[in-house]
Structure 1
Amino acid sequence: MKDRMIRIMEGKRVTNFITILILINAILVGLETYPDFAAKYSTWLLALDFVILGFFTLEILIKLYLYRTKFFRNGWNNFDFIIVVGSLVLYNSPYISVLRIFRVLRVLRTITTIPSLRRVVAALFMAIPTITSVIVLMSIIFYVYAVIGTFFYSSVEPEFFGNLGLSFITLFQVFTLESWASGVFRPIFEVVPWSWLYFVSFIVISTFLMINLIVGEIVNNAQKISEEIDAETAGIIEELSEIDELKAEVAELKTMIQTLVDRK
């Protein structure tokens, strides 16, 4: 009975149903950002939210019954548990802002129901050590360029390079490529023509090279996870083929035995 319930809970129908509920929850939270709509349909929105939370709670309770302590060995299950329990505890509490955060966080449960999203997030977590090293390297690059920028351009554009802190903020704007040419570069370029070397070299090193390092690491980890899943799937397929062969042999034995019995 338990095995059948586990297959049902892990099946596509239940997974798709939970995913649809998560998407509906996301739409409801978005609709509540419109004050007129929220005031007009507040009763319906509250009722639907209560029903959705009820289904989420029922799902967690069933999984707790089926898996018992094994439920908490899975990080995604812990994530779902915290969100649902947090929503239940804060539902009738005065901490409305915290409750809204938990309601929005329910949208993140799509990660737990869609395997491809889980792989991407897992790859991202696997890349954290490399990303940390890249961030340290970027911090060093930012510091060097901030000091250089302060020395050379503090008198030209004190608004952007007046001190080390302002230089850091300016370089972050350049790093994001947001209005860096018209807002930061061109006024300085009119006074210091060779300043293009400073800005172009910083963009090439910080934006292009560093970001590509991070993206490349995440892609490599995602590929590793996919290969591991393919290997596990191949193993399962081999086991299933062996089971089919055994079934065929058993069927042949049954046929032979039945033939011998009929002859007697």
Structure 2
Amino acid sequence: MPAQRAVPPGSPARPSSLARRCTRIAESRAFDVVIIVVIGANAVVLGIETYEHLGSAGPLLHALEWFFRAVFVVEIVIRVLAYGRRPQDFFRQGWNVFDFVVIAAVFIPGLHGDTTALRVIRIARVLRLVRFSPGLRTIVTALLRSLPGVGGFLALAIVTLYVYGMTGWLIFAKEQPEQYGTIGRAVLTLFVLLSQENLPDLIAQGMAVSPWTLIYYVSYVLITANLLLNILIAVIVNSMEEARRLEATERLADGYDEDGDGVPDEVDRIVIAQRLDDLRDLVADLERELRIERKVGPTRSEQRSTRPSGEQ
């Protein structure tokens, strides 16, 4: 049995007036602005709570926290009702699941008062600002998609640090025990060297041991600071391009279908444009086969003047 296509909010087929009303609210710009303002105010309140001796402001901040919870619950309810008879489609999008979990987690039994877990959940609300910005969504999606590639990069970086750490321990263990006395100190020293801030000092200390240590530090900087970091940048850039294509595909999938043929209108326009291009190519091929030259034909006066006198 084929899977049913999810009906996005805003499509013309709405089962009830309540769903249509919720759809109009959820898709309105004013609704997004209100939620963004509330999330920003929530972030400000969280920052104020970090100060001590709030005094009479404590009950006000507590009341504002419950106000934020109520607004976010109403927001989720409206967005779920906008899906009409298929509220489960709300959870098909990862950002919707994140919003629901962050908002519903504060009502878990046992999370009350000023616990660390509750504070972490409240701080996570600020991350909901990402879903309102397509650019930020693309960046976050790219970072998530780059995790497999970043994992390979980290494995290569760990191997490189370990090999250079062991080499540094063999060379500098006696002369520089604080930096290279153990493999752990050696790796930590090389990790800090990635910033290249202490590179002149380390080179000077190495030159006091042997001029050949310059090769050790130069090769390490070339491999880590140039080669490895460029590999990491390439992985992230590639994931960014994939995230952009995925975002464009999702926008096409969630497009409107005013003609009711089950295909978004944007997809219809793309298909029509492709068919027109194919038709132009077909006409060009036929003209080449029939050896038809594209030129402006003679005018009627020229045709009359070129006719034989007996044909007039």
TM-score range, shorter chain: 0.7 to 0.9
Structure 1 residue 131: Cα displacement? 1.0
Structure 1 residue 89: Cα displacement? 2.5
Amino acid at match of 1:85: A
Structure 1 residue 230: Cα displacement? 4.9
Number of residue-to-residue matches in the alignment: 241
The CA RMSD measured in Å over matched residues stands at: 2.7
**What is residue 101 of structure 2 aligned with on the other side?**
82
Cα 1:196–1:11 change in 2 (3 A) is farther
Structure 1 residue 9: Cα displacement? 0.6
Aligned partner (choices 66, 69, 84) of residue 82 of structure 2:
66
Structure 1 residue 227: Cα displacement? 4.2
Kept after mapping to 2: 8 A contact 1:146/1:171: yes
My pick for the range that moved more, 150-159 or 233-242, is 233-242
| Aligned mates of 1:163, 1:13 — CA distance in 2 | 60
**What is residue 195 of structure 1 aligned with on the other side?**
213
**What is residue 235 of structure 2 aligned with on the other side?**
217
Structure 1 residue 198: Cα displacement? 1.9
| Aligned mates of 1:209, 1:165 — CA distance in 2 | 23
Amino acid at match of 1:54: A
**What is residue 40 of structure 2 aligned with on the other side?**
23
Kept after mapping to 2: 8 A contact 1:87/1:102: yes
**What is residue 299 of structure 2 aligned with on the other side?**
none
Residue aligned with 2:97, SS: helix
**What is residue 101 of structure 1 aligned with on the other side?**
120
Cα 1:31–1:20 change in 2 (3 A) is same
**What is residue 255 of structure 1 aligned with on the other side?**
none
Structure 1 residue 236: Cα displacement? 4.4
Are 1:136 and 2:155 counterparts?
Answer: yes
Aligned partner (choices 200, 206, 231) of residue 224 of structure 2:
206
| Aligned mates of 2:197, 2:105 — CA distance in 1 | 38
Structure 1 residue 4: Cα displacement? 4.2
My pick for the range that moved more, 18-27 or 217-226, is 217-226
Kept after mapping to 1: 8 A contact 2:169/2:182: yes
Structure 1 residue 91: Cα displacement? 8.2
**What is residue 50 of structure 1 aligned with on the other side?**
66
Are 1:11 and 2:37 counterparts?
Answer: no
Residue aligned with 2:82, SS: helix
| Aligned mates of 2:237, 2:173 — CA distance in 1 | 40
Answer with 1 or 2: which has the greater Rg: 2
**What is residue 253 of structure 1 aligned with on the other side?**
none
CA offsets 1:50-104 (integer angstroms, 9 cap, x no match)? 2112111111122233331112221111111111111233686256111111111
CA offsets 1:215-260 (integer angstroms, 9 cap, x no match)? 2222222233334555756984474799xxxxxxxxxxxxxxxxxx
| Aligned mates of 1:215, 1:39 — CA distance in 2 | 49
Cα 1:122–1:39 change in 2 (3 A) is same
CA offsets 1:134-183 (integer angstroms, 9 cap, x no match)? 1111111111101101111111111111111111111111123354544x
My pick for the range that moved more, 65-74 or 153-162, is 65-74
Residue aligned with 2:175, SS: coil
The structure carrying a bigger helix percent of its residues is: 1
| Aligned mates of 1:170, 1:88 — CA distance in 2 | 46
My pick for the range that moved more, 189-198 or 133-142, is 189-198
Amino acid at match of 1:48: L
Cα 1:186–1:91 change in 2 (3 A) is farther
Amino acid at match of 1:175: L
| Aligned mates of 2:81, 2:21 — CA distance in 1 | 13
Cα 1:90–1:156 change in 2 (3 A) is farther
Kept after mapping to 1: 8 A contact 2:22/2:79: no
- Provide structure 2 residue ranges, at least 5 long, that are not aligned to the other structure: 1-16, 256-263, 272-312
Residue aligned with 2:196, SS: coil
